[in-house]
Structure 1
Amino acid sequence: MASKLLDRLRRTLFKEGEIPSETEGIDNFPESSELEDDTDCISARLGGTLCFEGDGTQESGEDAGEGSGPESDSDFLGESMDNACSSTDTSPVGLSPKGSSMLTRQLQESWRSLKTRSVPERLVFEVTDASVVQEGSSKYVLYTIQVLQSGSFDKTPALITRRYSDFERLHARLRRRHGDEMEGLCFPRKKLRKNFAAETIAKRSRAFEQYLSHLHSLAGLRRSPVFLEFFYLGDLRAGQMLMRVGRYQDALGALINALRLQEKLGCQQMLQQHQQQQQQQHQQNSPQGVHWLFNLCSLVSCFQDLEQLEEAQEHCDRALRDIAPSQEALQQQQQQQQLQFHPLLIPLLQYNVRLSWKISKDKRQWEALLQEIQDLGVDVGNQPNLKEYLIKEVLEDSEGDSKSKVKGDDIT
């Protein structure tokens, strides 16, 4: 029976000595002619076949998914196993022990290569829902977009909901700031009629997926504050407003989603790079750095008020690791007699020591740093209250706009 099964596997997987092509089973992108009417084209660069990455891999935004193409064990091997087991052959061809050993070795190498094959990671933007919303005399389509990391199983996908005018505003701001890179990029225009037809909504959904993927494929644009804030700033402002009215459980949802978006967009890495430049060139804090730390501190406050102390300490620890000075930096500041610390450093150190004590976690590292700062002559007792800072902080975008788009009705 084993010989029969191995023979069928050999004939199925390696017909006439051929090795399965790595490009078989991969769906091509639709031609640009499918994006007619209001979606004419996404970019002159994308004429013909749509491709946003330079890695040679093509995926269809809606059709591609986990387990598609020959890189999936289930598709590549599972189908072959089904064919072998359901074969109607009744005269198995016997295999010599040597041939069987070679075949087993080939199968093992094939499985090993499938598991270790490097899959480039990138962000995927997928419209999972599009609904028509009626607000009084106003009517618009609200698009729900899932943001997840490809190349591995993403346990923490994030969601955003945006309408056409939000995309339109993003496009206008990027054109003002990045005219050269945006020059060849077209935006799906509005139609005089049938804007709420199912076909129009479907085409726009596909176009917005391609639009965001194309923006993220360009290094200059995916690091742009305008592009980054389009994703997370709305949730950050919503979380702050919910905290102001004491709705900490509801605030957690918005803040956690904002943090996931910031993580996927690489805001923490940008903060670390900016801090290195800041030490060398004495630059001011970037908006993304302020937003990243504000988010972590807001989660600390919410988790503490909800008596989830371990989660509060975890996020407090993350924030401190981003802003705590090294021993070398402390010694250098002491020699130069220029003590410059992040305004939230001491409040977070005090929070972390108290939280760590309550959950019986080692706090010696942060206690030592707090004592060292105090020994330098800093008044650690006269420091801003963390919750007051979070409630009073004005969350501005990169263009200096502090107006929140979250309506009062959204939190009542």
Structure 2
Amino acid sequence: MAARILHRLRHALAGEGGREEPAGGGGEAEDCPESSELEDDTEGLSTRLSGTLSFTSHEDEEEEEEEGDGATSEELEVTPQAPGAAAGTEDGGRCWGEWVSAAERPGGSLLTRQLQELWRRSRGSLAPQRLLFEVTSASVVSERSSKYVLYTIYLIRSGQFDKAPATIARRYSDFEQLNRRLRCRFSCDMASVAFPRKRLRRNFTAETIAKRSRAFEQFLSHLHSIDEIRRSSEFLEFFFLPDLQAAQRLTCTGMYREALATWANAYRLQDRLGVCSSGRFLLTLAGLAVCHQELDQLSEAHGCCEQALQLLEAQGSHPLLGPFLQAHIHLAWKVGKDKRHSEARLQDLRESGLLLQQQPSLKECLIKEPLE
């Protein structure tokens, strides 16, 4: 159908400038095969659009939007249809000639607007994210009494670009300890999980380091694919507990800038692992708030307190609730934000006897929290 319409348009335009008779002198129009003009024109349009053309009905388009798989703008299907126009065919689609005419009118940017709209819609229907583990570097560390390889691992969410990646640095003995603890608790689940064996020689060759790097990636990915292990404290704390301990030590010694970077990495690790409602995560927000405040970054500290209070909204009592409310009230006054809700909530908790009149500060709670 589309090929015949293009054929008629071509001959109509040719007729205005003088019609050429086909070879052989016949006055009848020659047949237009389905594979000639349509393929050439479609190829040109596809090249200019860098996309895939699809002539589907409106119902098909809605189904594709609901089942979108997070394609990029180059993979999106383009359904050319003028806004506000009635469907030209029985199945709700528009024929090729009608769309070409709409694109050639003053509103010729219709297709660009449609691409932009499809892209905006597709961003909300991305495929479920998957956590990837990638060993990005490995370095040989020599100390007085030992020599070992330190592996740097990135935690990456598929389908998303992380401006600030979540990273850990672990040695073989750290992985071995994790493997041993998990096998003690999840012996059945761990039966199919492979772990690289120890070597007596050639532990520091490039070949051995490369093989172990790939083995550790597969090891962590396999563990993360098992529900019970993925949610276990042994697996989760392997990633972020060392950062929390280091950040706490740096905060206690007044090295707030260094502590802030470590708290921030612990935040990203817990975010990637999906444990943003745990007690460890609240402690991380407390560390971020304290360091931001000590570095005179009051707006950032206020934001951390607000996030923590949102997580604590449904809890009537928590050891960090009072300190967070006090810190939020103080910071809101400093940055000119509304603090009435926090003041009322703090007063209600005190009147109900859930909080003492004299609460420790957020920094005091952070320093005294045992992290083992």
- Report 1:105-124 matches (<5 A): 112=118, 116=122, 118-124=126-132
Q: Percent identity?
A: 49
Corresponding residue number in structure 2 for 1:132: 140
In 1, distance between residues paired with 2:355 and 2:213?
A: 55
Report the CA distance shift for 1:199/1:297 in structure 2 as closer, same or farther (over 3 A).
same
Corresponding residue number in structure 2 for 1:200: 208
Matched, 1:370 2:359: no
Report the CA distance shift for 1:230/1:101 in structure 2 as closer, same or farther (over 3 A).
farther
Q: Deviations over 1:358-377 (max 9, x none)?
A: 10011111111012123324
Q: Deviations over 1:318-372 (max 9, x none)?
A: 222222446xx6xxxxxxxxxxx21222122111111001100111111110121
Q: Deviations over 1:274-294 (max 9, x none)?
A: xxxxxxxxxxxxxxx2x2221
Report the CA distance shift for 1:139/1:18 in structure 2 as closer, same or farther (over 3 A).
same
Report the CA distance shift for 1:115/1:199 in structure 2 as closer, same or farther (over 3 A).
farther
Of the structure 1 ranges 193-202 and 146-155, higher mean CA displacement relative to structure 2 is found in 146-155
Report the CA distance shift for 1:184/1:314 in structure 2 as closer, same or farther (over 3 A).
same
Report the CA distance shift for 1:114/1:208 in structure 2 as closer, same or farther (over 3 A).
farther
1:229 to 216, 237, 253: 237
Give the length in aligned residue pairs.
291
Matched, 1:239 2:247: yes
TM-score by length of 2: 0.69
Matched, 1:163 2:171: yes
| Root-mean-square deviation over aligned CA pairs | 3.5
Secondary structure at the residue paired with 1:179? coil
In 2, distance between residues paired with 1:394 and 1:227?
A: 19
Mark the runs of 5 or more structure 1 residues left unpaired by the alignment: 20-69, 78-95, 272-288, 330-340, 397-412
2:368 to 392, 398, 412: 392
Matched, 1:318 2:307: yes
Of the structure 1 ranges 314-323 and 303-312, higher mean CA displacement relative to structure 2 is found in 314-323
Q: Deviations over 1:220-275 (max 9, x none)?
A: 11101000000000000000111111101000111100011111111124x3xxxx
Letter in 2 for 1:175: R
Corresponding residue number in structure 1 for 2:186: 178
- Report 1:270-281 matches (<5 A): 271=278
Corresponding residue number in structure 1 for 2:295: 306
Shift of residue 393, structure 1, vs aligned partner: 1.9
In 2, distance between residues paired with 1:127 and 1:259?
A: 20
Matched, 1:383 2:372: no
Q: Deviations over 1:131-183 (max 9, x none)?
A: 11111241111111111211233344201001111111110011011111101
Mark the runs of 5 or more structure 2 residues left unpaired by the alignment: 1-37, 55-69, 78-95, 104-109
Is the 2:193–2:223 Cα contact (8 Å) retained in structure 1? Answer: no
Query: Which structure has the bigger radius of gyration?
Result: 2
1:8 to 37, 40, 43: 43
Q: Deviations over 1:34-89 (max 9, x none)?
A: xxxxxxxxxxxxxxxxxxxxxxxxxxxxxxxxxxxx95555899xxxxxxxxxxxx
Report the CA distance shift for 1:360/1:76 in structure 2 as closer, same or farther (over 3 A).
closer
- Report 1:11-410 matches (<5 A): 71-73=71-73, 97=97, 112=118, 116=122, 118-269=126-277, 271=278, 289=279, 291-325=280-314, 341-377=317-353, 380-396=356-372
Question: 1 or 2 for the larger relative contact order (CA 8 Å, sep ≥6)?
Answer: 1
Secondary structure at the residue paired with 1:383? coil
Report the CA distance shift for 1:231/1:18 in structure 2 as closer, same or farther (over 3 A).
same
